[in-house]
Structures are given as structure tokens and as C-alpha cells.
Structure 1
Amino acid sequence: MCFTASVHPRLVSTMNIFGALLLASTVGGRSISRSNGLAGIVEGKTKLTFDGAGNFKVVSFSDMHTGERWGNGSWADWGPANDAATQNVHATVLDNEKPNYVVFNGDMMTGENVFASNATNYLDIVFAPTVARSIPFSCTHGNHDNADNINHQIEIEYEQANYASLSYTRSDAGPQPYGGGNYWVPVYAKSTDTVPAAIMWFFDSRSFVSGTGNGPGPIPDAANFYWVDENTVPQYIAAQRTLMEQQWSKVPPALVFVHIPVQKAQILAPLPSEGDHDDEPDPSTQGFLNNDYTGLDLPFWNEIIALNGGSDGGNVLAITSGHDHGESWCARSTDSSGIPICFNGHSGYGGYVTTHSAMRNGRVFELNLADLQGTVPVVRTWNSYENSTTNDEVVLGPDYMAQFN
């Protein structure tokens, strides 16, 4: 996590929002038009489907922090060893869990330490265990992925150009180059279906970590933020949700991924929830700058509530973040409108370490078709560790932490 020393004027995006029924985007270096306006229905991408037992398993990794090569202002030899250890963590978790999908939920690299000439190579390091197993994947991007020599848009375009067969990452809305990684991906019960059984939403919480090797530099005005862009993304969510209701007669259950946690995570952190609480998100959540709360994260949060089907609607299965390495819990209460908020823990050997994050992990979500078809959908989740153990398994839904709802 990182906070800046000054507040710059808000960026006013010039990007149009797609309320109309024609949407253009870029996927794998190609321009894609979607006549039905549903941004996640991308021609040429393999349909993601539940398996024969009706399950779809997702593993989410956060805070890999590859490329961490500087120590006390000089070149450090522990960076490559840490990157190799991170790959071993991912390989172990993937082999134990055998997921259908992988999410890299931000801070894939320590961007302030990388050089422009090879910055994208650190994405290759992060992706390698997943690509070697031919598992499809998506990315969100974190504050350390925006720095002097790298930014989110460069990373998205590199991913599209080099991993088109497995990557579902896009840039549908939001200000470029620092905050455009906002999109959704459908998952179908079977390949012949036209209406998804579930949707994974991905959002870009922006922000910027300055300095390459020899210290900090100026923060670009367009990157001095710690929340999802309030000028474009809420409208994008609303337009897509309306089209889903019109064309599918429903909004499918949702998993939401965003690197910097939503502000409501602060309220849930003190509750007695399963998982580690080494690194409570206070004030390292959306909407804060210089330890002052701006409230500018609320347009995004209000659209998440609408996606949930209103307060206590239950349609958002979880909103999951990284950023705070020592947090690996899930919690839910009326203060979060009944929306479960989860943390991934720490999957990388770069970045700072807390007492309980020394054993690296990924967070697992197991979606089940029967669980999604109840009056209120539910999802199982747990943490899977590099020592081949699991812990903190809970079922997120109306019965989880019921005493606080």
C-alpha cells in the first residue's frame, strides 16, 4: 500500500459511457463491436463453463510484487529469488486446487523498481505457472502497477497481445492509462446457454507509486486517486446492469474483484471473522487521500449495492481485494448492505510481510450451480497455502455472520 503527499484536482474523463446499444472495445489487439451492447460477450473468446459436477472454481492471487530489485538505493540480489518463490507458491496452490479460473488481483509488480525496457517481463513471471497449466485468467491492477516506467494500460495491452488465448482482461471504461481496467466476464452453466449463470466483475482502483530506484518523483494529476473512477465506471455498471435485465430478465450472481478495498472494509475489520487480521485497512481503503476521506468512492459503492439487488439483496457473492498483505478474512454485516467483503492475503515473496502472511496463499471461491439457484445465492470460499494446507473455509450468504445482519 502507498499514500501520496498531496491531493490533485479530480480527473474529468472524456470517455463516453455506453448506454447505447453499440459498444466497441479492444480484445487481443483487435477492435470488437458488440451489437447487443453487453460488454462481456466477446466474439472469439472461449465460453467459460461450469464443470460436469456443476462447479466453477476460482483462485485469486494478490500482491505478488515481482521486480523488487532495490535495497537501500542499490541493486539487490534477492529479487530474482523472491520472484521464483512466488512462482512456487502459485504452482503449489494451482496444483492442489485445480481451478477453472485464476484472478491476479493487483500489485503484480513493484512498479517503482522496474525499468521501462523490461517492466512487462514481470507479468510473464506472474502468469507463468497459470499459463503452463493452460488456465484462463483475468487481472485487476494495483497502485504498485502504476509507476514511472509502467502503467495499467501498458500492462493490459501487453497481456492482450501476448496471452490472447487465455486472458480475458480488457479495458471497457475508465480513464487511461492509469485506471481503465474495468470489465466483466460471463460464466455459463453449459456452452449452449445464452444467459450466464454467474459473472465476474473486475475494477481498477487506480493510483500511482512514484520512484524508480533512486527515489520518488512527481505524481501525475491523473493518477493521484485511491478509488474506482467516479466519472465513468458507475455509469458503465448501471448501463450494463440495465442491458442484462432487458435481455436476460435478470442480473446473474456476481463475484467482484478490485485491488484496493472498499471503504466499508474498515467497518467490518473489527468483527470476529475467519482469517488473519494483521494489517487492518485503516485508512488504506478507497476514498482516502492523506488519511482524509473524500467520499468520492461512493458512486462506485452505490452501483455495487444496485448490482446486489439493493440492500441485503444477496446478488453480490463477494467483493474481494488485496493491498493489505496481512488480511485474509471475509466478513458481512448490515454496514456493508449485507455484501460480503473478502481479502486475499499475500501470494508473493515481494512486498512487506506480517506475522501471519509469512505463509503465502491464494483465496479460493467455489461456485456451485445449485448454490446459485437458491432464493439467495451463496458461495464457498477458503484460503489455500503454499504448504498445501487450507484454512478459514466459510459459506458466504445470508447465514454467514447472521448475528451482524
Structure 2
Amino acid sequence: MHLFSSLILLPALCHALPSGRDSSSSDTQYTTSAAEKTLNPYPDHRVLAFRNSSTEGEYNFRLTVFSDVHFGENPWDAWGLEQDRKSLALMREVLEKDEEAIDYVVLNGDLITGENTFRENSTDLINQLLTPFIEHGVPFSTTHGNHDNQPNITHAAEIERELSIAPTQSFTRIGDADVGGVGGPGNYWVPVYLHESDPTPILVLWFFDSRGGFSTTPGQAIDDWVDDSVAKWIETESAKMNEAWGTEDRHALAFMHIPSHHIEQTQDELDSSKTPGQNGDSLGRGSTQDSALATRDQPFWDSLNTNVKNLIAVVSGHDHGNEWCARESSKDVVFCFAKHSGYGGYSRTGWGRGVRHFELTVQEGTEGVNAETWIWVKEGGEERARVTLGEDYGR
């Protein structure tokens, strides 16, 4: 049974804005009152902050990535409903299994197998797949993938539904109408503070819309890379952050569904002794991954790695058989695949389903954020490919 009534999708939703958002100026989203943190896009949300650990002076922030949930595949038969049931069971097990709470969740694209949805109830699937996170009260964000743009579903429609059912628990945002290109409205950032009372964040989570799929006009494909307009937006937002917060002691994680084309070469250079993790999916089939089409997402990749300092890692999904972290040589940045989490979507024997965890640690009185990451696989409850990210990782 669907939890909420259905929402009829219209192409106009591609440019819809969340309630209360003024589209007349990109600066209207920011709070400048002395009583509130400056440059705060979430005045009505909880303040995201690291938590005290059992070690004196140590603070932790655990972020868990679910990717490629592919909810709603084959909804017309028992097989499809069973895959959704198993996906929900995996989500609940992850949220319940750790003694320490997960501080934040990212759902990194392909939330829905959109080509299998029906127009009259497609966004009802958002209600269902977000239920475990809403039940547990964990804050979360989403990115969206090529299967989330289809004739009966759009990235914008999914975001609108998400915000309607979890308005203060979801940190997802629709960006300005001139940022993201056709089919790519989900470009935004989220601040995380060391202490709730701090005036400036120690970590910024960046989310980028890599688009892809098809428009609401049947047969009209959408470009499957981060649009050039996002490059300028990154530069502008970073400049605002630097002006408000300074340039030191701020770290970042970046998320997008489809990896940059540079990652094809990164895979070709993998050394499993330095970069553990399953490597079952060959890259190079998507337009952004194809080295022959390297200029497609180059403006975005240049801007991200030029303007976002102390970038711990860039995290993508999309390629279900991969779960490694490696250093991308052209920008000297660490790239990580998440883990295929859903029972919808393609798979192979032995790949399994699971999540990627990040444990970020700060020791008060020292500089920097220590980042550890690993894969958890539901089959057998196995943890694997645990690595510490930093200047020396993958070299």
C-alpha cells in the first residue's frame, strides 16, 4: 500500500522550487543575521555536527552511502515487489546494526528504475524507499541518476516529493534554474560543523547532478554528465564560502551518480595491492566515461578540483560491480565507487549488495580530518576494502 496519494508529473516540475525559496536572486537563500550562522541554506533544519566519541577530545561523523537502490523495478509482478522488500530490509539492517548511530545518509542516484514506472503513481515510490530513513530520524540527502529521468519521472519531481514528506529531515535542494542544464536541477551543498555552536563548518558535502536518461518527451535523451553551468556555480559558491568562512580548515566530500570520464583511465591504472575492493564492472560505455569524449565534463572536473579545497574524495555509483577507491591522476584526487545497495538493477554472481561507510574523525587541537572508508556487504555481513584516505592513499 502506498503511504501517500499519487502525484501527477508535469514537465514544468523540472524548474519547480521548494516551498519558501525565492528564485529572484541566488543570494536570497542565505542567512546574514548575526544571530545565525552566515551562508546558511538550512535555517529551519537541525545543525549537522560531529559527535563526541569515547576518546577524549575526539569527534566523529559517520556518513553512509546507499547507491543504485532501483526501487520499483517490474512493479507488475511478484518478482519486482520482492526486490523492493529485500532492498528495504537491507536499509533497515544497516540503520539498526551499528551500536553507534549513523549521522548522515546519502542516496547516491538511481533511486527508481524510472522506465518501469507509471505516470499516475511514480513518485509514490519515493515515499516507500525513504520510509526506513524517516522512521529512524536520520538526516539524508539524495542525488539522482540516469534511471531517475524517464518519460514518467524526473529528478525534479523526485526531489519535490522528497521535500514534501521529509521537509526538515531531507537536506536535498533544487538549485537555481540556470544551473544544471536540462534534467539536472540537483546541485547543492550541505555544511557540517565540528560543534553545533561553531560559526563556520569543518566539512562541506557537495552534491552534483550528472543527469542522463530520457526526458518527459519520449525518445529525447538527456546528456549524462554534469552540465557546464555547474562549473561556474562551484566557483561562485566557493568564493562566497571563502569570503564568509576563510579558506583554511574546511574539508569536503563530493557526490554524483555517474563518474567522470577520467575514471576510465583510473580503472586502467588500478593496483589492487594499493586500492582494494571489488572491480567487476568495466568502464568506458557511458558518454562521460569514454575517453574519446573527454571534453564533455571537463569544465566541471576542472572547477571542482580547482575551487573545492581539501577534497577528501569524490563518490559515484552507476557501475554496480565496482567498490574501490583510487587516486585519479589528472587532478590527484581520490575517487570512490559506492556499493550497489538495491535488489533492482543489474548484478552478477558474487557482487552482492551493501553500502559504503565513511568515518570522519577530528582530534581537537590537531589539524585536519581523518577519513576512513569501507564496504559492508549484506551477504554474510562482511566488511571489506577498509582504507584510510589521505595524502598517501593510492600512491
TM-score above 0.5: yes
Structure 1's 171 and 40: CA in aligned 2 closer, same or farther, altered over 3 A? farther
- Are the aligned partners of 1:146 and 1:208 in contact in 2 as well (CA < 8 Å)? yes
TM-aligned CA deviation for residue 76 of structure 1: 2.8
Residues 1:77 and 2:78 are matched in the alignment: yes
**What residue in structure 2 maps to residue 360 of structure 1?**
353
> What is the distance in 1 between the residues matched to 2:31 and 2:321?
44
- Equivalent of residue 276 in structure 1, options 275, 278, 283: 278
**Structure 1 residues 4-403: aligned runs within 5 Å:** 26-28=17-19, 30-31=21-22, 33-34=29-30, 40-53=40-53, 54-69=59-74, 75-97=76-98, 98-173=101-176, 174-175=179-180, 178-209=183-214, 217-220=218-221, 223=222, 225-230=223-228, 232-250=229-247, 252-270=250-268, 271-272=270-271, 273-284=275-286, 286=288, 288=290, 292-309=292-309, 315-333=310-328, 335-357=329-351, 359-370=352-363, 374=367, 377-386=369-378, 387-402=380-395
Counterpart of 1:380, as a letter, is E
- Are the aligned partners of 1:138 and 1:167 in contact in 2 as well (CA < 8 Å)? yes
- Are the aligned partners of 2:354 and 2:377 in contact in 1 as well (CA < 8 Å)? yes
Q: CA RMSD in A?
A: 2.5
Structure 1's 287 and 360: CA in aligned 2 closer, same or farther, altered over 3 A? closer
How many residues are aligned here? 357
TM-aligned CA deviation for residue 287 of structure 1: 6.2
Listed one character per residue, the Cα deviations across residues 110-158 of structure 1 (whole Å, up to 9, x for unaligned) are 0011011111111122211111111000000000000000001111111
Counterpart of 1:33, as a letter, is Q
> Structure 2 length as normaliser, TM-score?
0.84
Counterpart of 1:264, as a letter, is H
> What is the distance in 1 between the residues matched to 2:86 and 2:120?
24
Structure 1's 131 and 28: CA in aligned 2 closer, same or farther, altered over 3 A? farther
> What is the distance in 2 between the residues matched to 1:369 and 1:336?
29
TM-aligned CA deviation for residue 166 of structure 1: 0.7
> After the TM superposition, which of the residue ranges 344-353 and 247-256 deviates more from structure 2?
247-256
TM-aligned CA deviation for residue 373 of structure 1: 5.4
- Are the aligned partners of 1:93 and 1:388 in contact in 2 as well (CA < 8 Å)? no
TM-aligned CA deviation for residue 77 of structure 1: 2.1
- Are the aligned partners of 1:364 and 1:384 in contact in 2 as well (CA < 8 Å)? yes
Structure 1's 292 and 149: CA in aligned 2 closer, same or farther, altered over 3 A? farther
Structure 1's 129 and 285: CA in aligned 2 closer, same or farther, altered over 3 A? farther
Structure 1's 87 and 39: CA in aligned 2 closer, same or farther, altered over 3 A? farther
- Are the aligned partners of 2:180 and 2:209 in contact in 1 as well (CA < 8 Å)? no
Structure 1's 269 and 378: CA in aligned 2 closer, same or farther, altered over 3 A? farther
Gaps of 5+ in 1: 1-14, 16-24, 310-314
Counterpart of 2:383, as a letter, is T
- Are the aligned partners of 1:39 and 1:183 in contact in 2 as well (CA < 8 Å)? no
Seq. identity, %? 35
Q: Secondary structure at the match of 2:65?
A: strand
TM-aligned CA deviation for residue 35 of structure 1: 5.1
Counterpart of 2:388, as a letter, is V
> What is the distance in 1 between the residues matched to 2:287 and 2:356?
19
Listed one character per residue, the Cα deviations across residues 261-283 of structure 1 (whole Å, up to 9, x for unaligned) are 11221121131221111002223
> What is the distance in 2 between the residues matched to 1:293 and 1:144?
22
Q: Secondary structure at the match of 2:52?
A: coil
> What is the distance in 2 between the residues matched to 1:319 and 1:274?
17
Structure 1's 44 and 302: CA in aligned 2 closer, same or farther, altered over 3 A? same
TM-aligned CA deviation for residue 80 of structure 1: 0.7
> Structure 1 length as normaliser, TM-score?
0.82
Counterpart of 2:324, as a letter, is W
Gaps of 5+ in 2: 1-14, 23-27, 54-58
TM-aligned CA deviation for residue 363 of structure 1: 0.4
TM-aligned CA deviation for residue 236 of structure 1: 1.0
- Are the aligned partners of 2:51 and 2:60 in contact in 1 as well (CA < 8 Å)? yes
> What is the distance in 2 between the residues matched to 1:396 and 1:44?
33
**What residue in structure 2 maps to residue 312 of structure 1?**
none
Runs of 4+ in 1 over 6 A off after TM superposition: none
Counterpart of 2:30, as a letter, is R
- Are the aligned partners of 1:197 and 1:369 in contact in 2 as well (CA < 8 Å)? no
> What is the distance in 1 between the residues matched to 2:38 and 2:298?
24
Listed one character per residue, the Cα deviations across residues 267-311 of structure 1 (whole Å, up to 9, x for unaligned) are 2113122111100222336265xx8515120111011111344xx
- Are the aligned partners of 2:183 and 2:215 in contact in 1 as well (CA < 8 Å)? no
